[in-house]
Every structure is written in C-alpha cells, then in structure tokens.
Amino acid sequence: MKGLWVEVLRGGLVESRHRVHLAVVDEGGRLVSAAGDASFATFARSAIKSLQALPLLDDGVADRYGLTDPELALCSASHSGEAFHLAAAQSMLDKIGESESSLACGAHAPFHEPSARALRDAGEAPNRLHNNCSGKHAGMLALTRAHGWGVAGYHEAGHPVQRRMLEETSRWTGVPSSAISTGVDGCGVVTFGVPLSALALAFARLGAAAERGESGPARIVGAMVRHPEYVAGTERLCTDLMRAAGGRIIAKVGAEGVYCAGAPGAGLGIALKVEDGAKRAAEPALLGVLRALELISAAEYVSLARYAEPVLLNTRGEEVGRLRPVVGDDLDRLRPVVELESGGG
Amino acid sequence: MKGLWVEVLRGGLVESRHRVHLAVVDEGGRLVSAAGDASFATFARSAIKSLQALPLLDDGVADRYGLTDPELALCSASHSGEAFHLAAAQSMLDKIGESESSLACGAHAPFHEPSARALRDAGEAPNRLHNNCSGKHAGMLALTRAHGWGVAGYHEAGHPVQRRMLEETSRWTGVPSSAISTGVDGCGVVTFGVPLSALALAFARLGAAAERGESGPARIVGAMVRHPEYVAGTERLCTDLMRAAGGRIIAKVGAEGVYCAGAPGAGLGIALKVEDGAKRAAEPALLGVLRALELISAAEYVSLARYAEPVLLNTRGEEVGRLRPVVGDDLDRLRPVVELESGGG
C-alpha cells in the first residue's frame, strides 16, 4: 500500500487531510503491507487491553473468581458506560470483594449519549464505573487480589500488576521491556509505547495463538468476538465490525488515533496510527485497510459505511461533507481506497 | 520558517503530531514567511467574519440601525453563547425588526461550559441565538433588510446577501469570484475556499486599511480590538490574545484548524491551517508564529501559555502530557518555536 490518508471533503475541496501510518504483519513478523512509517512509535493506549487481560487466564484468576466471558470482554473494552457495562463491572467487583471506590480510574460521562443524558436528567454525576476503562481496572484489581499484592497504588508504574502488564506487552510485541516507552494513560495506569509494527505483531500472535487453541488467547478472543457489545457498545465501530465480520476480525481502538486488529484466519495483525491523533480518521482508515486487504467484503464495508465514510452534518442538520480513506503517493492524485456506489456513505 | 508542526507530548514520546501550513504576507502580497504549503486551498470558515461585516459599514447599514461597536464585534465573532453575547444578538434583531426565528443558523449549546450547564439545569434547549454565528447571521439579516432583499433564503448561495459576501471575499483576498470554491458552513451559509496566502493578504489589507483610517475597516478592526470579549468569549484565545496584545493584533479562528490574524502596525497578515483540521493545534501554532515573528513579546507568549502549550489532563486530573509548536525540516530534529522557562505552560 502506498501512502494512506483520510480526506475530509466539503464543497469541491479537500478541506482537511489526515496522514495514517500502518503496519500489517504475519505471525512471523514479516511486514505484509505498510503505509507511511510502519515503525512509527506511539503509545498503544487502550488498543492492547486484550493483552492486559491475558494474565487473568494464565494465572487462574478468571477461574478462581468465576469471571464470565462478557466480563472478560469488558476487561478488553473501552466501553460506552451503558447499563449492561456497568452491571458487568460491578459484578466483577462483587466477585473479588472490592467496590467502585477501589477503582483508580477517574469518573467521566458515558460515551453512550442516551446513558449520559439519563444520568444528567436524574441529577447524578458519573462515577468510576462509567469510565470506559472500568472493566480493565476491575480486571487489574482481580489480578492484584488473586496474587495478594495489595490494592493500594495498583495503577502505578512500580506496582507488581503494572510490572506484569509491561512483561505481557513485551511478550506479545517482541519488544524488550527496557525498550518500551511508558507514559500515563487517560485512566491513570501506565501506557506502553512501541513501534506500530510491534503492535501489529502482537495482534497477529494473539490471533494465531487463539487459532491454535491456546487457552488464554482462545478465551479472550472468543469472549471479544462472541460478546462484542461488551468491548465498546451501541453504535461503536469495534462492536459493529466484530459483529459484522462474524468472528473473523478482532478490533480494538485506542486513544489518539490508534486502531489495532487481528484476522486470525488470515494470520495477520494490523496496527495503524493517525499521525495527528484524530479518532474521526482512525475508523475510516481501519475499514479502508480491511477492505483493501480483502479481510472484509464489499458488502460488509458498505454495511459499515457510516464509520468508513461518515457524513458531516451542520447545525441545520444538512449534509455538508464527508470523510473517506484514500491512497497514493502524490497528494494531488490520491484515490479512494474503495469506490462506494453512489448513495453509499 | 521551515516546517511548522504542533507536537503532542506524553511520557517520553511525541505521541501525535499536527502538520501546519502557513502564509505570512504584506499588504502588497509579498510572502514574508511560510511553512508547509502557503498556497494550501481551504475554506476560510469563520475566520473572515470581519470581512463579511464590512458591508454593514460600507452600505450605511450600521448607521441606519444604530449598530454599536460591541454588536459589530459580534458580527465578526464565533461567540461562546454567554449572556452578553445573546443580549447583543437580540439587540441587533430588535433594531432591524426581526426575531430569533429569522436566523437561519441551527441551534447548538453554548461553547461557554457554565452557560451550557445553566441552560441544561434550567431544562431549556439552546436556541439559534446560542449558535456561535448568530451575530454574523444578525448582521446578514440587517444587510438584507436595509437593501430590501427579502429575508427568505438569505443564507443560500443564490441570495443577494451571499453574492455580496462572495464579492467582498474576492475584493480582500484578491481571488477572482470565479476562482473561489464554495461549500456550506456549519451554520448553513456559504463558506469560501481560497489559498492560505490569499487569506493572509486579506488580513494584511484589512489592517492596512484600518491603519490608513478607511472608515469601514477602521470601525470593524477597532470594534474587535476594543471589545474582544464579543469576538469569542471567556477563556477563549481570540479574546485573550487581542486583549493581551492591546490592539496590535486582530485574530479570528475558523473551524477545521484555520486561524487568521493581522498585525496592522507591522503591515502583516497571517493565515494558517492545521492540515488535519484540529483546533487543538491551531492555537499553539498561531502563538508560536506570532512569537517567532516577534509580533508578541516573550512575556505575552508566557501569559498565553495555556493556549500555546496546553497541558493534557487525564480523568484523574493528572498532567499526562502537553502540546507545543515546533519547527524544522527533519522530523527527528524538530525544535520548539519558543523555549519556555521550566514551569511555563
């Protein structure tokens, strides 16, 4: 693939343009496809929550506390704060004997607008369960409790649970722990910085391990694809893509324009980063790449067109533009990744 | 100036990066400074509302209806929907014998969060006066009424008021009307697409005309710099920059990463576009450029550091990163436009 971009069209102009870096690799680490700088180093943010959930299986934590598949999917989620997400997070806390106040993540309003509105209308403030990362945090608390590590400061770099997360990230990405950059994520835990190609490798390996029937990866991948509504929520791409692809694709968004995906059957891992960090471009880019690699069908792409080529509406509700993924090396001659039939999008 | 970028820093990494195109020109159209593609064509969006207000002076509309300087500043504004903005917009409508329902812009919640919250808490929905463009629309209605053009469809491309806006844009940018791209703006009116260098020229010319004492430009520029709170609002860069610079700078943001400014005393016009359309990068870029050109002092830059090098907070309220403007041609060796003292920003 040549340069990968997402254009913002309005009137007769490309009003804005997002540059996308992409790495597509197989389980052996071979770079199958790339755009921009495949070794662009960035923080994985929420895109690798599935890897961070694996110790719950490998260390017997899920069995010990009787964690269900939807709960494991929630551990891998940036959820929308809908009622069923909150219930699953609360259920995990109940099973491990912790409470909402034990979560180190801050509170924020649900991504799911009707849920956010209902909360406002009831005069209630969001709590930590509403944080899109509350499942991951509940999982980290479960790991902490099972190992008897002590809950205080579980989100901080020095804590055994975060050291374990670093080891897990190193194991799957193939990047030595000492070479992994660290920062603080939106929810307060450590986030890990690696090249895109290493993130793609992690997703290729996770998918391959699940395909081979390795118990931890198979359970996490299975939980995500069978309960995709727990990985994101209503009207969210991760959920709708995994549902549309019927188990062929695992997908997870990260903040600042990161998207990772795995296609276990095809033996591929995909990682992309919108250079400027825009979420609005990450979704079209991912779907463009999946279609270009024929990992989703034309019909599946069209069924997801509201994410792939979203329409821009103005304050009058009029359609004034749209986004679309494009490829090419010459900025004056970029061409659409997918030629939608008129009326698509 | 070499390449101009705004970096997003987190932990030890540049997590994301915004490319900025820049044109700085004098009244004669000479390109004094540039970065990226100075002829990048984009829609001006709200950045040229001051030009769109000029017919109110040139055609005697402001005199006829007794429009005040704050009201003229509001015509040039993307305001925050604070009480004093709403009052000024309503006052204009009263003077011309129109009402809120005559405004063609859609409703949206005030940018000013306390005002938005107060509206929600009162169980009220935002109306068209709250739209950040309601002053511009009230001005267009005044122009329409004064000319007896008929209010219906005043926001549409074929209406005389929009043809007048096109002529005015052509006059100041130096781009023939036939070469100006058109699209539909967020508030429903026509928006005009020209090269950045032409936008910069318009601001150089507007400032120069004001300096020479030409009545229309002098009144608009004077209204903006003497009543900057009407051009944006509380905790907004346009307002705080014009206030800090004490009349030396006029500045106006546009949607999709556009910022225009004029430095009448220095005879310069500035236009920049964040290629990806991000507002978060346009503010650091503008302040970096103004400081690099010595159009604002180091002390003024520091006083505006919350816009120039904004801190990123997470859901726990922790500082996890920041943005800053950088220059250079080699992406691995970009250097800060301004070296803030430690503690700055």
pLDDT digits (tens, 9 = 90+) for A238-261: 999 999 999 999 999 999 999 999
In this prediction, residue A339 carries a pLDDT of 73
- Asked whether residue A344 carries a pLDDT value surpassing 70, the answer given is no
What the block records as the tokens of A286 is: 């991912």
Q: What is the pTM of this model?
A: 0.96
Interface test with A, best of B16, B78, B136, B194 (most A CBs within 10 A): B16
Average pLDDT over residues A80-97: 98
The beta-carbon neighbor of B11 closest among A107, A182, A315 is A182
* Mean pLDDT of the B15-22 span: 98
* Integer Cα distance of B291 and B4 in angstroms: 13
Chain A residue with Cα closest to B19: A276
Which of A122, A46, A130, A124 minimizes the C-alpha distance to A86? A130
pLDDT given for residue A219 in this prediction: 98
Give the A window 37-66 contacts with B, CB below 8 Å. 41-43
pLDDT at residue B233 above 60?
A: yes
Mean pLDDT computed over B13-24 = 97
pLDDT score for A253: 98
Task: Name every residue whose Cβ is closer than 8 Å to that of residue B191 and which is 6 or more positions away in sequence.
Answer: A10, A11, B43, B44, B45, B182, B183, B184, B185
Mean pLDDT, chain B, whole residue set = 96
- Does B337 have pLDDT greater than 50? yes
Band of pLDDT at residue B345, cut at 50, 70 and 90: very low
Mean pLDDT for B51-66 is 98
The model's confidence at residue B12, banded by pLDDT at 50, 70 and 90, is: confident
Q: Above 90 in pLDDT, residue A128?
A: yes
Residue A340's pLDDT is what? 60
Cross-chain Cβ contact B16/A257 below 8 Å: yes
Q: Are A23 and A34 in contact (CB under 8 A)?
A: yes
Say what the pLDDT of residue B340 is.
60
> Above 60 in pLDDT, residue A341?
no
Is A42 in Cβ contact with B12 (below 8 Å)? no
B280-316 pLDDT, tens digit per residue, is 999 999 999 999 999 999 999 999 999 999 999 999 9
Looking at the partner chain, which of A18, A105, A183 has a beta carbon nearest the beta carbon of B11? A183
Instruction: Give the A window 278-307 contacts with B, CB below 8 Å.
Output: 278, 281
- Residue B156, pLDDT above cutoff 90: yes
List pLDDT tens digits, range A183-198.
999 999 999 999 999 9
CB contact under 8 A, A256 and B107: no
- Say what percent of chain A tops pLDDT 90: 94
B80 touches B232 (CB < 8 A): yes
Q: Are A316 and B105 within 8 A, CB to CB? A: yes
pLDDT given for residue A287 in this prediction:
98
Q: Do A16 and B108 make contact, defined as CB atoms within 8 angstroms?
A: no
State whether residue A19 sits within 8 Å of chain B by CB.
Answer: yes
In this complex, how many residue pairs, one in chain A and one in chain B, have their CB atoms less than 8 Å apart? 150
Contacting B residues, span 106-145, partner chain A, CB-CB under 8 Å: 106-108, 120, 131
- B8 in contact with A at a CB cutoff of 8 Å? yes
Q: Which of B15, B256, B332 to mutate to test the interface with A (most CBs of A within 10 A)?
A: B15
Question: Nearest Cα to A128, choosing from A115, A138, A114?
Answer: A138
How much is the pLDDT for B343?
40
What element of type H or E holds B74? helix B69-75
**Nearest-CB residue to B41 (from A13, A191, A320):** A13
**Segment A287-307 mean pLDDT:** 97
Whether B313 and chain A come into contact, CB under 8 Å, resolves to no
Task: Say whether pLDDT at B34 is over 70.
Answer: yes
- What per-residue confidence (pLDDT) applies to A94? 98
